[in-house]
Structure 1
Amino acid sequence: MGDAFYYDSSEEASTQKMDRPPSPESKNGSQANYTVKETPLGTLKYLRIVCVGAGVSGINLLRTLRLNLKHYEAVVYEKNEDVGGTWLENKYPGCRCDIPSHCYQYSWRQKKDWSSFFAPSHEIRDYLCEVCKDEDLLRYIKLSHQVVAAQWHEASGLWHLKIKSLETGEQFDDTANFLINASGILNNWKWPDVDGLDDFKGPLIHTAAWPRDFDYKGKTVAVIGNGASGIQLLPTIQPDVKKLCHIVRTPTWIPPPWRQAQVMAGRGQMIKQVAVDDKENFTSEQIQKFLNDEDFYQNFVKSMEKDTASNFGMFVKDGAIQAVATAKTRDYMQYMLGGDEKLCKIMIPTFPFGTRRVTPAPGYMEAVRKENVEVFGGNIRRFISDGIEMESGDLIKVDAIICATGFDTSFCPRFPIIGRDGDLRETWTQNTPKAYMSVAVKGLPNYFTFLGPNAPISHGSVFTLSEHIAKYITRILKKVQAENIRAVAPLPKAVEDYNEHIAHFMPRMTWAAPGRSWFKAGKEDGPVVAVHPGSRTHFFHMLETFRAEDFEYVWDAQRQNRFGCLGNGFSIKEVEEGWDQSWYLHESAMV
């Protein structure tokens, strides 16, 4: 698309303020001439939509657009060599989802032969690849293409994009009416923030960039971190290493196995009927029953979804449910750690249940008690040539270091996104990231994001979240098409009001309690930026209605008249072939 792109990477350009649309009034105060548009009401404006990322959200967006929009084109730029997002990238031993498999799928593409209660990463990746193939979505996805810059152009109402082919290294320009960010937050991995990263002479590995040729068998290995990846990795490699040194900076609440926890909570009637082995894999007979008994399968899926959606009460600060969950989980952890005083002190939190993400951990606490495992609590001072020096003074000599230290969850984009207020990266680096209902951003017209600040990313499966967000975005796109809107963005006051509510709501939740967590961007204290202020159902309910009054609009016509779409007096309904001209005689009274 030629010379349209004008992104300037200089500091001055990246911080400049973009001008607002000009007033429709001329210098002498008279309004520009109004012209009736010679099209019937309902004529759709053509849209070009660019999406970043072909993971769970990007894939679902393509299907949602196809089912609901006309007169548009869409392309997804994906930096990886295949679809799948985080499930393509994460390949460490033991990698799996910590949400039940039958919740972790599209509602419109249910899979009945998941191998395990918690699906392994390769199986989720294969599922996403299969969906793209069967839904014929790959033709809209450009693999190995990375968006490296985006800048809003007010006069044309277009995003000007710079795209890089990762196969050839060549860059080219593109434009879009709408830019939708589906790049996610769990794909920009980070090393631990310690000195001496380059001083260690052995293999230094991050779980999110696991090398195919790394052989840990017979080695003395350090595993840093006890989030989801560290908890899954440790019991997988423990039987094969000579010694495993596990470094735990901040303890994690580890609940009883899902089945046991649901029974304890009085919600496990359906799950009792499902057969799994000691590793939580479904038996072949159980999978066959899922395939053959549709009613049983649907009842099971609905019960799992209901159980997942009903956990919000556990995280209400000082609530009765939270107190019971804390007590039972502490008792469970003490029992699984054999009452070992040292292990219990290092691994059982003193902060409220839910302050840090609660993480299922089959086999983890059994593994840390093995003879070849030693657990170290506290902070790392630095890496040294042959291991790790702790702030306690302990020197840990190892052959290899594995960092299960997670991802950059600051929400800052990985490429410049320059809107009316400058570069979003600078705004969110210098200030707390704030969004409108997690999906739109002040100063960024025609920009939407999946799982932005304060999305319900710890409230259950991202699959159903992505479906609701995609529908919400699509409703706005339909309005834009039908009403000849050039640009739409949330009003600054609406964003301010929404975030004021968040700030006053969060203290009632355990998420805001002191304790290091990625809910608070990895800080001990600070604003909660990564969790929705309400339940999963609350989020879905919130997105059911598009609050049009919370947005500012720029129309295509020079004379900014919102009713220009009324056109020539006819309706598209009376000129489209095959339309029932008296459809209203059969309408329901329900609104």
Structure 2
Amino acid sequence: METDFTRGRNPESFCAAVAMRLSRRFKESEFARLLSDTGRAAGVSRMKAALANGAGAPSIAIVGAGPGGLAMAARLKSAGLSTVALFEKGTQVGGTWFDNHYPGAACDVPAYLYSFSFGPQAHWSRKYPTQPEILEYFETFAAHFDLSEHVHLETEVLGATWDQDRLCWTVNLKDLREGSVRSEDFDIVINAVGQLSRPAIPSIPGLAERTAPVMHSARWDDSVDLAGKRVGVIGNGASALQFIPPVAEQAESLVVFQRSANWVLPKNDRAFTSTELARVRRFPALGRLYRWWIYWGLELRFALVRRESPLTRRLNETIVSRLQPLISEKLPAAAVVPDYPLGCKRILISNDYYKTLLRPNVTVQLAPIVEVTETDVRCADGTVIPADVLLLGTGFESTEFLAPMSFVGRRGVTLNDVWSAGAEAYLGLAVAGFPNLFIIYGPNTNLGHNSILFMIEAQTRYIMGLIEDMVCDGIGAVEVRPDVMDQFNSKIGALTEKTVWAESCHSWYKNESGKITNNWPGFSIVYWNRLRRRNRTEFILHARNPK
């Protein structure tokens, strides 16, 4: 489905031209800094000097040992802060890449951009890495920064309450091995649970009562044998698109229950050759150059999510025309042609999904499900489909940030109350009324076109800068001003309305009222540049209590 989006120009030249145009917004020195290290922590030397001269080191709790939590812990430790505790309710680090080990699990961002610029350079085996290789990368990253002494596995954070007199958070913790609950005080709490950690389970009559195998993609049970089984798949999101092809090869039959079709583009994937891998190992700069070539190629894709974009409309028409040969009595148009604009939901990539739908043992059911029983799935059109196993590709509770944890800020206000109409935060990482509470991969920081690790690096750098101010300048608490947060989110709201996400489609980018709470409505480099500097006048600063 290659399309001449550039009107005759070479794609690499087009990419370079647009990259140059974007770069004019930044000074040459700033652009060079972007290319060398997006996540270089601010003020590390200054902080180390202050700590060496007797400045008090704040105690810091990090919630979640996925990519964001590991990156934050690595930054803090590199800056000389050892008073860090990283709490993870799972049995291993890795976050979503530990949880999601279903067949076919892989990243939809090219490997060389799905890694941290400040960590050890990874040597990936293929362009799009699979789950085992990604998990190994984050395990290696944690070992490289010697984070094991800071990680507390099988420990769930239940919530925290701010103590204004003592300028600290009392964090409630549950030991999942023993079932005991305890409380610990921390000066700073950094939430890094991400947006894709809690599976969304559909409310279908009979589903919860069913005792025959039912498993969500993020809670895959490897002990369930799918060979020769009649399998039903509820949902057809990004994870389902990956596990449906390998499951279909094993199952006697597979039925996909879907509400609407997805926009699916080809996945330009292949294994790297031994020569390519040898060159990158010998000349590490090649890996960095390739990384940024990928970055700019993806960055251009933000143009696809602009509302009423001629580029998007043209691509939309091209894809629909090329889907026509798939349409048949077995595979009606509604099964493969989306009923919403390109980009309104997440654009997916796959080379084998459409081929799988054409298999003789695979069918697509478009009628809504009305009931699930012990042995079958019943649909609104009267169809009863036998199902030995049900697989849920229904995504995550992405708009319920930090749930089910409970955070109580100043004056007893809860974060759940503040976010009752939809989650908001200043720069996606700080909330008015909640001092010393920071969020990684928070509201309006997800990307629909580039690597989230790029955003995480920018966020960890900014948070490091705030902690540097606290350590070096005797600040006990930092809290974003309410007016600053409100002005920022008013701008975000206006920008999201200019994107295709605001169209009338159901997606995990929006809450139930239709508010877009998840995505950053712009180029990621704009976010990076905004987080390179912090303005103290945007924050309420509380002097440190004497100890």
TM-score interval for Structure 1 and Structure 2 normalised by the shorter chain? 0.7 to 0.9
Q: Map residues 396-415 of structure 1 onto 2, 5 A cutoff.
A: 396-409=385-398, 410-415=400-405
- The one-letter code matched in structure 1 to 2:152 is K
Q: What is the distance in 2 between the residues matched to 1:518 and 1:235?
A: 23
- What's the CA shift for 1:495? 1.5
Q: Map residues 99-248 of structure 1 onto 2, 5 A cutoff.
A: 99-109=109-119, 111-248=121-258
**Change beyond 3 A, Cα 1:391–1:423:** farther
- What's the CA shift for 1:321? 2.1
Q: Map residues 122-521 of structure 1 onto 2, 5 A cutoff.
A: 122-258=132-268, 280-335=270-325, 337=326, 342-409=331-398, 410-420=400-410, 422=412, 424-427=414-417, 430-521=420-511
Q: Which string of whole-angstrom CA distances, capped at 9 and with x for unpartnered residues, describes residues 466-493 of structure 1?
A: 1110010010111122222222111111
- After TM superposition, the structure 1 stretch with the greater mean CA deviation from structure 2, 232-241 or 341-350, is 341-350
Q: What is the distance in 2 between the residues matched to 1:357 and 1:67?
A: 36
- After TM superposition, the structure 1 stretch with the greater mean CA deviation from structure 2, 173-182 or 487-496, is 487-496
- The one-letter code matched in structure 1 to 2:534 is F
Tell me what 2:74 maps to: 63
CA contact (8 A) 1:112 1:287 kept: no
Q: What is the distance in 1 between the residues matched to 2:149 and 2:360?
A: 53
CA contact (8 A) 2:409 2:415 kept: no
CA contact (8 A) 1:456 1:539 kept: no
- What's the CA shift for 1:170? 2.4
Aligned pairs, number = 495
Q: What is the distance in 1 between the residues matched to 2:443 and 2:213?
A: 35
Q: What is the distance in 1 between the residues matched to 2:525 and 2:78?
A: 24
CA contact (8 A) 1:157 1:177 kept: yes
CA contact (8 A) 1:413 1:424 kept: no
**Change beyond 3 A, Cα 1:473–1:247:** same
- What's the CA shift for 1:253? 0.9
Query: RMSD between aligned alpha carbons?
Result: 2.3
Tell me what 1:51 maps to: 62
**Change beyond 3 A, Cα 1:223–1:497:** same
Answer yes or no: is 1:551 the counterpart of 2:539: yes
CA contact (8 A) 1:204 1:400 kept: yes
CA contact (8 A) 1:49 1:176 kept: yes
SS in 2 for 1:161: strand
Within the candidate set 100, 110, 114, 1:90 is matched to 100
CA contact (8 A) 1:116 1:281 kept: yes
TM value normalised by structure 2: 0.86
Q: Which string of whole-angstrom CA distances, capped at 9 and with x for unpartnered residues, describes residues 173-218 of structure 1?
A: 2111100001112111121121211343421111111112110011
- What's the CA shift for 1:418? 0.9
- What's the CA shift for 1:383? 1.0
- The one-letter code matched in structure 2 to 1:85 is G
SS in 1 for 2:509: helix
- What's the CA shift for 1:112? 4.8
Q: Which string of whole-angstrom CA distances, capped at 9 and with x for unpartnered residues, describes residues 55-105 of structure 1?
A: 10111112212333x566111111111110011111111111111111111
Q: What is the distance in 1 between the residues matched to 2:82 and 2:148?
A: 17
- What's the CA shift for 1:43? 7.0
**Change beyond 3 A, Cα 1:422–1:343:** farther
- What's the CA shift for 1:441? 1.0
SS in 1 for 2:277: helix
- What's the CA shift for 1:139? 1.2
Stretches of structure 1 lacking an aligned partner (at least 5 in a row):
1-38, 259-275, 559-591
CA contact (8 A) 2:191 2:439 kept: yes
- After TM superposition, the structure 1 stretch with the greater mean CA deviation from structure 2, 447-456 or 321-330, is 321-330
**Change beyond 3 A, Cα 1:339–1:425:** farther
Larger radius of gyration: 1
- What's the CA shift for 1:349? 1.4
- The one-letter code matched in structure 1 to 2:228 is G
- What's the CA shift for 1:463? 2.0
Q: Which string of whole-angstrom CA distances, capped at 9 and with x for unpartnered residues, describes residues 409-429 of structure 1?
A: 121422111112546453256
Q: Which string of whole-angstrom CA distances, capped at 9 and with x for unpartnered residues, describes residues 226-282 of structure 1?
A: 111100000111111111001111321111334xxxxxxxxxxxxxxxxx6xxx333
- What's the CA shift for 1:289? 3.8
Within the candidate set 515, 519, 540, 1:527 is matched to 515
- After TM superposition, the structure 1 stretch with the greater mean CA deviation from structure 2, 88-97 or 107-116, is 107-116
CA contact (8 A) 2:115 2:122 kept: no
TM value normalised by structure 1: 0.79
- The one-letter code matched in structure 1 to 2:480 is P
- The one-letter code matched in structure 2 to 1:114 is W
- The one-letter code matched in structure 2 to 1:65 is L
Q: Which string of whole-angstrom CA distances, capped at 9 and with x for unpartnered residues, describes residues 409-468 of structure 1?
A: 121422111112546453256321111110011211100001111113434222222111
- What's the CA shift for 1:111? 4.2
CA contact (8 A) 2:445 2:455 kept: no
- What's the CA shift for 1:362? 2.3
**Change beyond 3 A, Cα 1:51–1:247:** same
SS in 1 for 2:111: coil
CA contact (8 A) 2:260 2:334 kept: no
Stretches of structure 2 lacking an aligned partner (at least 5 in a row):
1-49
SS in 2 for 1:544: coil
